[in-house]
Structure 1
Amino acid sequence: MGVKDINIDNTPLSEKIAETIRSNIMKGVIKPGERLVEPKLSEQLGISRTPIREALRLLEMEGFIEIIPRRGAIVTQITDKDIDDIFVIKIRLESLAARLSVSKVSDADIERMKELAQKVKEGSTKVTNMVNWNSEFHDIFINNCGNERLIRILEGLQQQFKRATVYSFTEMGRTKQVNEEHISIIEAFENEDEDKVEELVEKHIMNGWNFIRSRVPVREAQGE
């Protein structure tokens, strides 16, 4: 199934396993629809099932797999159309949420956004950390928008968006640009400039959309 031997270092074993499986999914070595069976992985890797189970939970949180009762972990499909469907909604609704939140974010919220931007700038060898920091940055203004329906809609996209966002934080990703865009967004929030915040968030998402779409290895819908 394409899972390579795991080299053990100071990284927790579950994260090392997740990184290997994630990389192989992104490269197309592990195909959409393929089952990841815990006993088989345990036998192939020569390790217990506990870290494998933890790794699969991480990958499910990122949207790479879906754990289905009595079937196990199934690798999810992602296509150009999936990316477009997610981002065409996100670019409109998240920029609206940002605009609505300008008068509601606190000084503490802005300080946390700065901390998260710094974490992204410093980077991490763990892609999951980068994705989660980026997600939390966006969640701060989304959750402050004051519109519960809008918040729930964007929450519904979160898992799929996390999977797509992984491409931005790989070795050939756009981490530097993400950080610069985050800093500009923070400055607009500090200036309480609703128009600028909305414009910058929309541009930020559009840039991510274009970059991610260029990196997704599955170019067509399954079966086409």
Structure 2
Amino acid sequence: MAVRDINIDNTPLSEKIAHTIRNNIIKGIIKPGERLVEPKLSEMLGISRTPIREALRLLEMEGFIDIIPRRGAVVTTLTRKDIDDIFIIKMKLEPLASRLAVDNLEKSDIDRLKELAAKMEAGSAKGVTQMINWNYDFHNIFIYKCNNDRLIRMLDGLQQQFKRATVYSFTTEGRTKKVNEEHLELIKAFEKKDSDSVEKIVETHVYNGWQFIRVQFEEVLTQI
């Protein structure tokens, strides 16, 4: 990994660093379990430790690394089986949460869903991490309104690894557009309080994401 790998544009430096490290993790150049040491990264990239520290926080939010006290940043593992296991569970539990949320969503919740959908449609200069976080917030609105604490905890447990898998969606323009279309369709169903449609839309949405991510993951592996 070298400073020449980072493209020069208007993207914040921390996001450029995160992008470089993220790609190297995906391609297997940086291995699962490997430590990312700030001073070493600073020396390799020829930049200060502050943007590197910010980049590592972004990668932690996406689930690519864990920041462990007295050990620092350690790369997590994501396999084909991880992706399948995550989405098999998510495809069953999240539609249920959405159905349970239908009668609990208030106008302010619908307005927030619309706001997030509009932000995702417009895109972000902050890059893929911001898109992932907006998508995370969008789904959490109806998950947390399902009013089932056990179901919420189960879905929370998937979120970090799910964020990592979701990176593949928001680095591809075609899928990003489709995600936005599916989100808008879901908002309309919530407004109509159509529980059957809401559940079906979320199930299809999660399944489409799963299949797309599987293809993208396999394509990355063939490049290694």
Name the TM-score, length of structure 2 as normaliser: 0.91
Q: Which moved more, 1:201-210 or 1:167-176?
A: 167-176
Deviations along 1:142-174, whole A, 9 cap, x unmatched? 010011111111111111110001100103650
Which one has a larger percent helix, Structure 1 or Structure 2? 2
Partners of 2:3 and 2:46 within 8 A in 1:
no
Residue in structure 2 matched with residue 48 of structure 1 by the alignment: 48
Match in the other structure for 2:78: 78
Cα shift at 1:137: 0.6
The residue type paired with residue 23 of structure 1 is N
> Hey, what does 2:204 align to over in structure 1?
203
Is contact 1:101–1:142 with CA below 8 Å preserved after alignment?
yes
Q: Which position in structure 2 is the counterpart of 1:222?
A: none
Percent identical among aligned pairs is 69
Q: Do residues 98 (structure 1) and 98 (structure 2) align?
A: yes
Paired with 1:119 and 1:110, the residues of 2 have a C-alpha distance of 14
Q: Where does structure 1 differ by over 6 angstroms across 4 or more consecutive aligned residues?
A: none
Residue in 1 that maps onto 2:144: 143
1:177 maps to a residue whose letter is K
Q: Match for residue 57 of structure 2?
A: 57
CA drift of 1:23 comes to 2.3
Separation in structure 2 between the aligned mates of residue 26 and residue 124 of structure 1, nearest angstrom: 22
> Partner letter of residue 40 of structure 1?
K
Work out the CA distance in 1 between the residues paired with 2:74 and 2:21: 12
Question: What is the letter of the counterpart of residue 96 of structure 1?
Answer: L
Which residue number in structure 1 is paired with residue 33 of structure 2? 33
Displacement of 1:4 in angstroms is 4.2
Computed over aligned residues only, the root mean square deviation of the Cα atoms, in angstroms, reads 1.7
CA contact (8 A) 1:4 1:20 kept: no
SS of residue paired to 1:167:
coil
1:168 partner SS: coil
Specify the alignment match of 2:171 in structure 1.
170
Deviation at 1:7, TM superposition (A): 4.4
Q: What per-residue deviation string (whole Å, max 9, x for no partner) do you get for residues 121-157 of structure 1? A: 1122400011011111100000100111111111111
**Which amino acid letter does the alignment assign opposite residue 132 of structure 1?**
N
Unaligned runs of 5+ in 1: 220-224
Alignment of 1:15-30 (within 5 A): 15-30=15-30
Structure-2 separation of matches of 1:56 and 1:96: 34
Once residues 2 and 73 of structure 2 are traced to their aligned partners in structure 1, the CA distance between those partners, rounded to angstroms, is: 15
Cα displacement (A) at 1:9: 4.3
- The count of corresponding residues between Structure 1 and Structure 2 is 218
Change (3 A) 1:75 1:173: farther
Equivalents in 2 of 1:12, 1:183: separation in Å?
Answer: 29
SS of the residue aligned with 1:67? strand
